[in-house]
Amino acid sequence: MKKKDLLFSAIQPTGGITIGHYLGIFKLWNLLQNKYICLYCIANLHSLSILNKNNLINVNIFDLVSLVLSFNIDPHKCIIFLQSDIVEHLKLYWILNCYTYIGELNRMTQFKEKSNKKINNNLSLFSYPVLMASDILLYDSKYVCIGYDQLQHLELVRVISKRFNKIYNCNFFVYPKHIISKRFSRIMSLLNVKKKMSKSDNNTNNVIFLLDNIDLIKYKINNCVTDSDNPPKIIFDINNKPGISNLLNILSGIKNVSIKSLEEYFYKSNYKKFKDILSKELCNFIKLLQKKFNFYRKDKDLIKNILLNGKNRIKNIAKKKILNLNKILNLTI
Ligand code: TRP
């Protein structure tokens, strides 16, 4: 039997996981765990780049792991681990900094956006993609599961990897391929459908958080934007009907049904009826999810053990990679 390929993915434990994260990333995590050797990383070192003491508390890590388990992501099938448990990420990070140009990092749109806010314009915000490169390259990850917003970072990872290999005339680092959810990686805001749904949105009515109170979710759906077509048309048309299309996408994602069958089902319905059904389905989905979440969240030992297990399963891979790196660079880190 062919050995499975390795896939890496990570998410930051900064609180506020949204329906967009579920549809765009975690649904894929769930699928991919059956196909690849999956390393799912809780990227707490990345969260440090945004200086907010709340980012560093364990609550977020426990919450995130509990959510991951609630999505039926199974630690027997994949490896869930905490980034800061493997010091080699930081060792490789420094080395890779030496092969990354300032001009390249300057071009990263996410950096431009974050640094434009000028709240906490620190150096780690700038070199953030280099830490991503270390995460990925440390384990020779053939595939990387990301959202669209991380594609530019992954392209830079490939540049760094290729550059290193070329300089040392070797094949030491892989050239990772990306896996992106075509359908769900752009779930839009509820009130401003031109903007991606984001956990850091100032207006929380734009966002469905998975740990929101159920009544609040009803309220948010009730008030979200559709359009003013008269008679109403519930069809998927991203350019002309972005509001309805986004909601159809959400419903199709949580129910695992095709957009086409939803269009047929809602033929001649009005927006009110559509929203009522969406709201009911979404609330049922989130209620069940929260039930599972509360079950796992109570069991701190379980979560600690999952992370410890994850660490133990990969630490030697990481150590070996750095040992081999030492040989190439004549170092002893
Ligand atoms: N930066 C990613 C995000 O915010 C998370 C991340 C960290 C990541 N390291 C990674 C994603 C490595 C893919 C691969 O979404």
> Ligand 1 test: best mutation among 11, 81, 93, most atoms within 8 Å of CB?
11
Residue 57 has pLDDT above 80, yes or no: no
Binning pLDDT at 50, 70 and 90, where does residue 114 land? confident
> Quick one: which of 277, 307, 321 has its CA closest to 62?
307
What are the structural domains of the chain? 6-180+300-328 (3.40.50.620), 204-295 (1.10.240.10)
Whether the pLDDT of residue 135 is over 90: the answer is yes
How much distance in Å is there from the Cα of 183 to the middle of ligand 1?
A: 20
Give pLDDT, residue 53: 65
What single string gives the DSSP state of each residue in 213-267? Answer: -HHHHHHHHHHS-----SS-----BTTTBHHHHHHHHHHHHHHT--HHHHHHHTT
Ligand 1 within 6 A of 137 CB? no
The confidence score (pLDDT) of residue 116 equals 80
Residue in the structure block whose two tokens are 């830490």: 131
Atom 6, ligand 1: residue with shortest CA distance: 10
Spacing, Cα 41 to ligand 1 middle (Å): 8
pLDDT-derived band at 56, boundaries 50, 70, 90: low
Determine whether the shortest distance from the Cβ of 150 to ligand 1 is under 6 A. yes
Ligand 1 in contact with 100 (CB < 6 A)?
A: no
- Ligand 1 contact via 130 beta carbon (within 6 Å): no
Is the CB of 50 inside a 6 Å radius of any atom of ligand 1?
A: no
> Rounded to the nearest whole angstrom, what is the distance from the C-alpha of residue 33 to the centroid of ligand 1?
17
Ligand 1 atom closest to 128 (CA): 1
Are 114 and 124 within 8 A, CB to CB? no
Q: What is the pLDDT of residues 63-108, one digit of tens each?
A: 999 999 999 999 999 999 999 999 999 999 999 999 999 999 999 9
DSSP string, 152-203: HHHHHHHHHHHHHHHHTTS--S--PEEE--TTTTTPBPSS-TTSB--TT-S-
* Structure tokens belonging to residue 88: 């080699």
**Is there an atom of ligand 1 within 6 Å of 296 CB?**
no
- Rounded to 5 degrees, φ, ψ at 106 are -60, -25
pLDDT at 243: 96
Give me the residue label for tokens 């975690």.
Answer: 26
Ligand 1 centroid to Cα of residue 149, in Å, is: 10
- Please, what is the angle between helix 214-223 and helix 271-297, to 10°? 150
Nearest residue to 283 via CA among 19, 67, 72: 19
- What is the mean predicted confidence (pLDDT) over 137-165? 97
- pLDDT by residue (tens digit) across 267-326? 999 999 999 999 999 999 999 999 999 999 999 999 999 999 999 999 999 999 999 999
Residue 146 has φ and ψ, to the nearest 5°, of: -140, 170
User: Cα dist. 278→224, 243, 309 in Å?
Assistant: 11, 13, 39
Q: What was the pLDDT predicted at 115? A: 85
Choice between 120 and 98, residue whose per-residue pLDDT is larger: 98
Q: Is the pLDDT of residue 33 over 90?
A: yes
Ligand 1 centroid, distance to 9 Cα (angstroms): 7
132 lines ligand 1 (CB under 6 A): yes
* Residue-averaged pLDDT of the chain: 95
**141 CA from centroid of ligand 1 (Å):** 13
- Specify the ligand 1 atom closest to the Cα of 46: 7
- Predicted confidence band of residue 166 (pLDDT cuts 50, 70, 90): very high
Q: Are 161 and 175 in contact (CB under 8 A)?
A: yes
Ligand 1 contact via 8 beta carbon (within 6 Å): yes
pLDDT band at 55 (very low <50, low <70, confident <90, very high): low
Return the pLDDT at 54.
Answer: 65
* 144 CB near ligand 1 (under 6 Å): yes
| Range 31-36, long-range pairs (CB < 8 A, 24+ positions) | 32/7, 32/145, 32/179, 33/73, 33/74, 33/77, 33/78, 34/77, 35/4, 36/4, 36/5, 36/6, 36/7, 36/143
Tens of pLDDT, residue by residue over 206-255, are 999 999 999 999 999 999 999 999 899 999 999 999 999 999 999 999 99
Work out the burial of residue 36: count CB atoms within 10 Å of its CB; fewer than 13 is exposed, 13-18 middle, 19 or more buried.
Answer: buried
Average pLDDT, integer, range 107-127 = 88
6 pLDDT exceeds 90? yes
Residues 258-270: tens digit of each pLDDT: 999 999 999 999 9
Which residue, judged by its Cα, is nearest atom 8 of ligand 1? 10
pLDDT for residue 15: 78
User: Which atom of ligand 1 is nearest the CA belonging to 8?
Assistant: 14
For the annotated catalytic residues, the residue numbers are 114, 196, 199
Q: Which residue has the higher pLDDT, 200 or 152?
A: 152
